[in-house]
């Protein structure tokens, strides 16, 4: 009996090794230059990624292939082959012109958890229907409608910054920006007052922190499985959202929708628009409301908080740029009767350039949905192949952006549109929330600069390094700054 069990194990082991070897032979068989993978993570360097997708490692892929003079290269994430595109023209072609062959992202979702099913992960016609439905929710008219609410949320930050300025405290900038973006997203999307500044343990801030920063060994194992073995994970119904986060968020949304429907409450927020869509006969059930509001909440606060944090850090290090930006802000306020309208905020040129210098996303993927031949090449990309856009690699390539590590908003003064720049993706599946994000970041930066001088803090350990495990750029070290009130 023991011998038979040993033979069974040995056979399964040998079959598994042969299967993995076969999978790792994919790019060789297709004659595509590739990086040698190692089981189980393939070419990813991060064993326990903290999120849904790979991150900084894509810059390494980009640099490796670029050093070999290549325009495309093959890598493996887990055992799945991924094609890395280096040529900005190829990137634009698949995102825009030949979008129909690359509609999906292939980011993990499972129907067993509604929190994982939303616009980022939806595929094919399901995604198309959602995109049509929600495009109007993000129109510039709707942004203007939310502008005052967002501006109001900024005032929540003032007592904290005033107090820190008076007591000369070092401020944890990401935490402060995340409290603002959480309040703002909570108010404009869910119509709730999050009170993140008043209560450090406020429910929504706690949820956001939990989702992006706190992973138990079980959560990490789930993330490992869903990133490296998505097909098996799907069969097993494994979710990549922490159970506690799911439970709390679902309850919050269900209770709010039920309350509003029962009491006929109408508000100027996204949830209200979704409830109205549901009432108007659109196909929209509670699971969909949960998934979409969850992605608006998570995509809405973390990325904007990162860009705001890093821009403030750079401004503290570059006094001249800070003074120049403050001058523009004060002039704009003065020209508008000491107020800041939506139009005047969006019209500030140097502010726009400063924000453009810190795009927070490292990469985004596409999946080939029908066999595709690249123009001017013999390569046929097979249906089902994942394609990685190495955004960080492209944005920090000195051939396009000289001295790329130096923060220099002037490089966006008269940017050549041919240069690769994909902070919000591109084409029909670009970021639906880009207007919202820019408005939110600009409100924070303009109002801070008008009221405070931002200074470096000795508590920030430099040089700052990007955490390799995250998909949105996060520094390993916390960023602290000092704020000095301008009277
Ligand atoms: C600085 C802030 C932000 C950045 C840098 C950012 C970046 C991105 C990127 C790179 C993509 C993928 C685009 C592609 O595949 O072509 C994306 C998609 C998306 N983003 Fe954002 N985003 C930001 C803020 C927001 C906000 C505020 C929201 C919503 C409130 C949002 C909602 C979404 C959604 C729903 C998608 C999926 C769109 C689709 O598949 O149709 N994002 N974002």
Ligand 1 centroid, distance to 439 Cα (angstroms): 14
Q: Which of 52-61, 259-268, 390-399 has the highest mean pLDDT?
A: 390-399
Does the CB atom of residue 249 touch ligand 1 within 6 A?
A: no
Mean pLDDT of the residues in the chain: 92
Instruction: Please report the atom of ligand 1 found closest to the CA of residue 472.
Output: 5
Ligand 1 site, residue 107, Cβ cutoff 6 A = no
Predicted local confidence at residue 261, as pLDDT: 87
- Nearest ligand 1 atom to the CA of 425 is 16
- Percent of the chain scored above 90 by pLDDT? 74
- The model's confidence at residue 10, banded by pLDDT at 50, 70 and 90, is confident
Predicted local distance difference test score (pLDDT) of residue 270: 84
Average confidence (pLDDT) over 164-185? 96
Q: How far apart are CA 224 and CA 482, in angstroms?
A: 38
Cα–Cα distances (Å) from 409 to 204, 333, 393, in that order, read: 33, 21, 19
pLDDT for residue 299 is more than 70: yes
| Confidence (pLDDT) at 266 | 82
Nearest residue CA, atom 42 of ligand 1? 433
How many other CB atoms are found less than 10 A from the CB of residue 301? Answer: 30
Structure-model confidence comparison of residues 375 and 165, the more confident one? 165
Residue among 94, 183, 433, 470 to mutate when testing ligand 1 (max atoms within 8 A of CB): 433
- Please, which pLDDT band fits residue 322 given cuts at 50, 70 and 90? very high
Could you tell me the two tokens for 229? 């073995």
Determine if ligand 1 sits within 6 Å of the CB of residue 291.
no
Of 198, 168, 207, 162, give the one whose Cα is nearest residue 180.
198
Ligand 1: centre distance to CA 433 (Å): 5
Q: In what order do the strands lie in the sheet with 480-485?
A: 171-172, 480-485, 452-456
Q: For 370-382, write each residue's pLDDT tens digit.
A: 999 988 888 999 9
| pLDDT (average), residues 209-223 | 91
Query: Residue range 97-103: average pLDDT?
Result: 98
Interval 414-425 mean pLDDT: 92
Query: How far does the centroid of ligand 1 lie from the alpha carbon of residue 482, in Å?
Result: 31
The string of pLDDT tens digits covering residues 18-67 is 999 999 999 999 999 999 999 999 998 877 776 656 788 999 999 999 99
Overall average pLDDT of the 267-292 stretch: 83
Is any atom of ligand 1 closer than 6 Å to the C-beta of 54?
no
Nearest CA to ligand 1 atom 25: 433
| 153 annotated as belonging to a binding site for a ligand | no
**Side-chain half-sphere CA neighbours of 329 within 13 A:** 21
* Residues 260-281, mean pLDDT to the nearest whole number: 83
Answer whether 358 contacts ligand 1 (Cβ < 6 A).
Answer: no
Query: What pLDDT is attached to residue 7?
Result: 80
pLDDT at position 205: 92
Mean pLDDT of 435-458: 97
Q: Is the CB of 304 under 6 A from ligand 1?
A: yes
473 lines ligand 1 (CB under 6 A): no
ipTM, two decimals, is 0.99
Q: What is the pLDDT of residue 51?
A: 63
pLDDT at 471: 78
Q: Which atom of ligand 1 is nearest to the CA of 306?
A: 1
> What whole-number distance in Å separates Cα of residue 216 and Cα of residue 200?
22
Q: Which residue's entry shows tokens 């810190």?
A: 358
Is the beta carbon of 361 within 6 A of some atom in ligand 1? yes
The answer to whether the beta carbons of residues 237 and 110 sit under 8 Å apart is yes
> In whole angstroms, what is the distance from residue 182 CA to residue 186 CA?
6
- Ligand 1 within 6 A of 303 CB? yes
Q: Whose CA is nearest to atom 6 of ligand 1?
A: 424
Mutate to test the pocket of ligand 1, among 125, 431, 471, 472 (most ligand atoms within 8 A of CB): 431
Cα 55 to chain center, whole Å? Answer: 10
The finding on whether 424 has its CB within 6 A of some atom of ligand 1 is yes
User: What are the beta bridge partners of residue 466?
Assistant: 475
Ligand 1 contacts CB of residue 295 (under 6 A): yes
Across the range 483-487, mean pLDDT stands at 93
Gap from CA of 431 to ligand 1 centroid (Å)? 3
Q: Are 305 and 362 in contact (CB under 8 A)?
A: no
Instruction: State yes or no: pLDDT of 13 exceeds 90.
Output: no
Atom of ligand 1 nearest to the CA of 438: 1
pLDDT of 388 reads 97
- Determine the atom of ligand 1 nearest the C-alpha atom of 359: 5
| pLDDT band at residue 386 under the 50/70/90 scheme | very high
Q: Is the Cβ–Cβ distance between 196 and 305 less than 8 Å?
A: no
More confident residue, 132 or 273: 132
CA-proximal residue: ligand 1, atom 41 (nearest): 429
- Alpha-carbon Rg for the chain in angstroms: 24
Confirm if 385 and 367 have CB atoms less than 8 A apart.
Answer: yes
Nearest protein CA to atom 35 of ligand 1, as residue: 119
């Amino acid at each position: 009996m023991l011998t038979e069990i040993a033979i069974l194990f040995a056979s399964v082991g040998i079959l598994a090794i042969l299967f993995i070897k076969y999978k790792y032979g994919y790019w060789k068989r297709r004659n595509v230059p590739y990086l040698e993978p190692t089981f189980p993570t393939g070419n990813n360097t991060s064993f326990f990624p903290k999120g849904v997708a790979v991150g900084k490692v894509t810059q390494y892929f980009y640099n490796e292939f670029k050093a070999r003079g290549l325009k495309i290269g093959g890598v493996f994430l887990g055992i799945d082959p991924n094609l890395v595109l280096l040529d900005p023209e190829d990137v634009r072609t698949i995102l825009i012109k030949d979008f129909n062959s690359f509609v999906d992202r292939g980011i993990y979702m499972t129907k067993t958890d509604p929190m994982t099913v939303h616009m980022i992960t939806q595929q094919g016609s399901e995604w198309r229907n959602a995109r049509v439905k929600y495009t109007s929710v993000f129109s510039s008219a709707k942004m203007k409608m939310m502008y005052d609410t967002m501006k109001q949320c900024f005032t929540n930050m003032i007592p904290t910054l005033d107090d820190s300025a008076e007591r000369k405290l070092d401020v944890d900038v990401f935490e402060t920006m995340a409290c603002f973006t959480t309040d703002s997203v909570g108010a404009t999307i869910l119509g709730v007052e999050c009170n993140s500044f008043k209560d450090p343990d406020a429910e929504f801030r706690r949820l956001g922190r939990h989702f992006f920063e706190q992973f138990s060994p079980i959560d990490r194992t789930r993330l490992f499985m869903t990133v490296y073995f998505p097909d098996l994970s799907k069969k097993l119904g494994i979710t990549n959202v922490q159970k506690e986060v799911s439970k709390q968020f679902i309850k919050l949304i269900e209770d709010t929708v039920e309350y509003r429907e029962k009491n006929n409450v109408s508000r100027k927020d996204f949830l209200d628009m979704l409830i109205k869509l549901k009432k108007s006969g659109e196909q929209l059930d509670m699971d969909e409301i949960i998934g979409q509001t969850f992605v608006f909440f998570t995509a809405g606060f973390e990325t904007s908080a990162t860009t705001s944090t890093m821009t403030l850090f750079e401004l503290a290090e570059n006094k001249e740029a800070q003074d120049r930006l403050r001058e523009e802000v004060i002039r704009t306020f003065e020209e508008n009767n000491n107020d800041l309208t939506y139009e005047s905020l969006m019209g500030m040129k140097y502010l726009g350039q400063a924000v453009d210098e810190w795009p927070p996303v490292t990469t985004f993927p596409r999946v080939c949905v029908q066999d595709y031949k690249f123009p001017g090449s013999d390569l046929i990309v097979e249906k089902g192949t994942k394609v990685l856009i190495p955004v960080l690699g492209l944005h920090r390539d000195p051939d396009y952006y000289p001295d790329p590590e130096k923060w220099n908003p002037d490089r966006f003064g008269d940017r050549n549109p041919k240069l690769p720049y994909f902070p919000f993706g591109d084409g029909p599946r670009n970021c639906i929330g880009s207007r919202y994000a820019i408005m939110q970041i600009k409100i924070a930066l303009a109002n801070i600069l008008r009221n405070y001088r931002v200074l470096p803090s000795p508590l920030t350990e430099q040089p700052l390094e990007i955490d390799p495990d995250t998909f949105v750029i996060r520094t390993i070290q916390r960023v602290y700054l000092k704020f000095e009130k301008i009277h």
